């Protein structure tokens, strides 16, 4: 069953000659219970994609459906309510508030969603922290925890409201290999219980936890591939396949440029300007 659908979705930033096409006509269908790894070089559009999936920023163009509702028609207050009820976020930097204890940080989402007393919040947080391997840490502050413990506390905060989907942007980027494995084992565990997970990562080793990879380049989905259990993708093969696609496209553009008397650079610039104009006109 589809949880999120993107149809012909584009995202742009900036104006005039400084305009950047962050996402270019993305089509994506995310099913409930999937574990998706989003990969690609820096600037490929990974964070822009996650921000759209997480209802943080709307696309400049296209159709975005979440839980069978069209997001472009929703008010900001309704989007905020959907984020609160259905979406958990984990970031590369944990973003825990330094002046709050782990208990207060993790239970913060509960203050906006349900009316629970202090003792009940403590019970829920302690149970979740124990499950994530950081029990008896609820009254400590973030600076008193190790990097791996802090990130697990951040995951606890994302899970405390029992979201429908968890979106993680480089969740292991600041961790060593052992703590990265701990974090990914946790994410894989909650995914097996039915939670949909989308992570952005540069690390091929993490793809063995996913069941699908989406590889972005220049704002386009270049690879959308199902993975076997414990399959780690070979980035070299993906890069080779993309190079061949790019070469075929370049040869086609150069051939068209020769017929029109235009240089490849002029042709590329013309295409980019037409693309930006088309996106802006359909915002």
For residue 154, give its domain range: 2-233
Q: Domain count for the chain, please give it.
A: 1
Residue at 27 is within a domain? yes
pLDDT at residue number 269: 55
CATH of the domain at 113: 3.40.50.300
Mean pLDDT in the chain?
Answer: 88
In a domain, 261, yes or no: no
Q: Of 15-29, 72-86, 175-189, 246-260, which range is least confident?
A: 246-260
Could you tell me which residue, 279 or 72, shows the higher pLDDT?
72
Residue 146 domain flag? yes
283 within some domain: no
Q: Does residue 252 fall inside a structural domain? A: no
Residue 175 lies in a domain: yes
The stretch 240-264 carries a mean pLDDT of 73
- 221 domain-assigned: yes
Is the pLDDT at 33 greater than 70? The verdict is yes
Structural domain contains residue 240: no
> Which residue pairs, CB below 8 angstroms and at least 24 apart, start in 172-180?
172/201, 172/203, 172/206, 173/92, 173/201, 173/202, 174/92, 174/93, 174/147, 175/147, 175/148, 175/151, 176/147, 176/148, 178/148, 179/146, 179/147, 179/148, 179/151, 180/206
């Amino acid at each position: 069953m589809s949880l999120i659908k993107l149809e012909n979705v584009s995202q742009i930033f900036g104006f005039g000659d400084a305009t950047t096409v962050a996402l270019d006509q993305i089509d994506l269908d995310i099913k409930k219970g999937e574990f998706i790894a989003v990969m690609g070089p820096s600037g490929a559009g990974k964070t822009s994609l996650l921000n759209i999936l997480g209802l943080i920023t709307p696309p400049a163009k296209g159709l975005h459906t979440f839980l069978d509702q069209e997001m472009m028609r929703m008010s900001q207050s309704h989007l905020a309510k959907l984020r609160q009820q259905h979406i958990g976020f984990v970031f590369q930097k944990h973003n825990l508030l330094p002046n709050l204890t782990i208990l207060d940080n993790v239970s913060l989402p509960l203050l906006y969603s349900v009316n629970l007393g202090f003792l009940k919040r403590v019970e829920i947080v302690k149970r979740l922290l124990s499950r994530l391997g950081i029990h008896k840490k609820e009254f400590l502050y973030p600076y008193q925890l190790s990097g791996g413990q802090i990130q697990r506390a951040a995951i606890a905060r994302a899970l405390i409201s029992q979201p429908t989907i968890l979106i993680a942007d480089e969740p292991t980027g600041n961790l060593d290999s052992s703590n990265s494995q701990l974090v990914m084992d946790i994410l894989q565990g909650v995914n097996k219980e039915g939670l949909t997970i989308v992570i952005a990562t540069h690390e091929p080793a993490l793809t063995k936890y996913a069941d699908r990879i989406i590889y972005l380049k220049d704002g386009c989905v270049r690879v959308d591939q199902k993975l076997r259990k414990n399959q780690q993708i070979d980035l070299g093969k993906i890069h080779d396949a993309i190079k061949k696609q790019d070469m075929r496209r370049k040869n086609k553009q150069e051939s068209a440029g020769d017929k029109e008397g235009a240089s490849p650079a002029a042709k590329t610039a013309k295409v980019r300007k037409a693309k930006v104009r088309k996106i802006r006109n359909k915002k």
